[in-house]
Structure formats: C-alpha cells, structure tokens
Amino acid sequence: MFSLNTFVKWIKHSPNIQSFIFLAESLGKLAIIFAIVSYLIEYPDRIKQRYYQAWQVMNSAHLSSGDGGRKNAISDLVEIENDLPGLDLTNATIEKFDLRGIVIPYSRFNNASIKDSMFSCKPHLLASCDSTVMTRAFLGGDSIQTLVLITNNHFEKAKMDDSTLQNAILQDNIFDNAELARAFFSSLTFNSANSFKGAHLEQAHFSNVQFAVIGSGQNINIDFTDANLDGATYDGQPISADDLRSNVVRLCRTKFSNNIISNRDCSPKSVTPQ
C-alpha cells in the first residue's frame, strides 16, 4: 500500500524532484539579488523624486501662513542637501523645527513666528559640531505693525553675522556663543530670559530696542555675560554699561569698546573666568 511515508521517501530520493527543489531555491536567491540590485540602481532616481517633491511643497506653501508641510519638506531637503541658501519661510509658523547644522545664508523669516526650534550646533560623535550658518538672514516682521514672537529657540554657536532681527518680541531664546558681528537689532523687545553668554556682538547695531517690558519688575531679560560688544552701538552711539539697566540686563566680564570690561553684575566668585 502506498503510504505517506513512502511518498515522502520518494520525494527525498527522486532526482527529478531534487532538481526541481534546487532550481526553485536558486531562482528564489536570484530574485532576492535582483531586487537588491534594482533597489540600488533606482536609489538615485528615488532621491531626485524626493528632492523635487520637497521643493514642490516648499513652493506651494510659499507666503502662506502655518506649517504648510514645510517642516517635513525641509527635513527631507536637509537629508539630501545640507546647503539651502536663500531659504524663504516668509509668513510661516516655525514650531519645533530642527535646523541644526544646515547652511542657510540669506534666509528669510519675514513675518514668521519662531517657537521651540533648534538653530544650534549639530553634534557629532567627536567633540566638534556643525554650526548652523545664517549669515545675512532676516528674522522678524516687515513693519512695526507686524510684530512677531520669537520664543524658546536655541541659536547656540549659530553663525549669524550681518543678520537682521527686527520688529519682534524675543523671549526665552538662547544665543550663547553665537556669532552676531555687525548684526542689526531694530524695534525689538527683549522679554524674559534671553541669553547671549559668550556671544560675539562686535559692531552690532541696536536701534529702538527695549530690554524690558514696562512694569515687568526685576526680571533679567537679557544676559550679556562674557559677551563681546566691542564697537557695538545703541541708537547710533557707542553702547556702554550705562545704556543697559542693571535690573534687566546682566553684565559680567562683558567687553565694550576701548577694552572696557564690565563686571557690574558678577557675583564675587565669578569676576575672573574659571
């Protein structure tokens, strides 16, 4: 009687069946290799398609308010190409964007509210990191009637030389060790804990700037500890410690023109750098 065991033994020992199984296994392996090769060959085209789609989103959202898909589009662009000069985010809502380490000189943030975003140095496994490059960028409103809020952002070590910040309320931002030489600060209110520790503000221009909201009390709204204000001006005149109210602006090891160092607000133990 032809049993199941006999059938199994026949399959195992049948040359034809074994050849068929070998052929099937070989074809399966070839199919996997073919899929991998096809994936690698088509990869550049997929990158191009992703790149064009991201720019299509950016162009479609141009000048519109809100996110408009720009957050994800920028993430895709940054992965493909780190250099995006002239990036235009006019009228956008920049919230929780990660722009660390990208190169965006001449970028435009006209009338864009900027909140909880990262423009700081992108860390590496090594000690160094890539600074965000925002030279000659524009952040703020187009006019005094369109004040925008720039709050709770990180600009540590950002390269922002010759940039313009105007017609805005700055609140809880960190510009520590940022490069802001010749930057133009106009029609701004520094409101609540903005830190410029170690920032390079040589020849920066401050015009129509409030370092505290009237009636805000004794809060320190801007910290210039270890900042360099050599050559900086306030309403067209060389800036000095007298221009900066002690109850709202902290000066400690702060450098002004003519090699003047102000330790006005240092604690006794912090006058000399550690």
Q: Which of 134-148, 209-223, 249-263 has the lowest mean pLDDT?
A: 209-223
Do residue 205 and residue 130 come from a single domain?
A: yes
pLDDT of residue 81: 74
Q: 95 and 52, same structural domain?
A: no
- Do 56 and 85 fall into the same domain? no
Mean pLDDT of 104-120: 94
Exposure on the CB side of residue 151, measured as CA atoms within 13 A: 10
**Do 10 and 141 fall within a single domain?**
no
Please tell me the number of Cα atoms within 13 Å of 62 on its side-chain side: 10
Residue 158 located in a structural domain: yes
Place of tokens 């703020």: 140
Residues 6 or more apart whose CB falls under 8 angstroms from that of 249 comprise 211, 220, 221, 222, 223, 224, 265
Are residue 214 and residue 167 in the same domain, yes or no? Answer: yes
269, 239 Cβ separation under 8 angstroms: no
Q: Which residue's entry shows tokens 């033994």?
A: 9
Domain assignment of residue 257, given as a range: 65-262
Instruction: Kindly state whether residues 76 and 177 are assigned to the same domain.
Output: yes
Evaluate whether residue 272 is within a structural domain: no
Number of domains comprising the chain: 2
Instruction: Identify whether residues 98 and 210 lie together within a single domain.
Output: yes
Do 188 and 85 belong together in one domain? yes
Looking at the structure, tell me whether residues 54 and 73 fall in a common domain: no
| pLDDT surpassing 50 at residue 206 | yes
Pick from 82, 83, 76, 79: nearest CA to 58: 76
Same domain, 114 and 69: yes
Q: What is the predicted pLDDT for the residue at 110?
A: 94
Q: Give residue-wise pLDDT tens across range 228-262.
A: 999 999 999 999 999 888 788 999 999 999 999 99
Same domain, 54 and 173: no
Predicted model pTM: 0.78
DSSP helix/strand/coil, 264: coil
Higher pLDDT, 139 or 124: 139
Q: Which pLDDT does position 14 carry in this prediction?
A: 63
In a domain, 240, yes or no: yes
In tens, the pLDDT along 12-31 reads: 566 666 666 666 676 677 67
Residue with structure tokens 């600009």?
A: 155
The domain that holds 146 is classified in CATH as 2.160.20
- Rounded to whole angstroms, the Cα distance separating 102 from 88 reads 14
Asked if 108 and 212 sit in the same domain, the reply is yes
In-domain check, residue 273: no
Q: What is the pLDDT of residue 212?
A: 59
Q: What is the DSSP string of 100-120?
A: TT-B-TT-EEET-EEES-B-S
Tokens of 170: 């700055």
Per residue in 45-75, pLDDT (tens digit) is 565 677 778 778 777 777 777 777 888 888 8
Euclidean distance between CA atoms 179 and 237, whole angstroms:
21
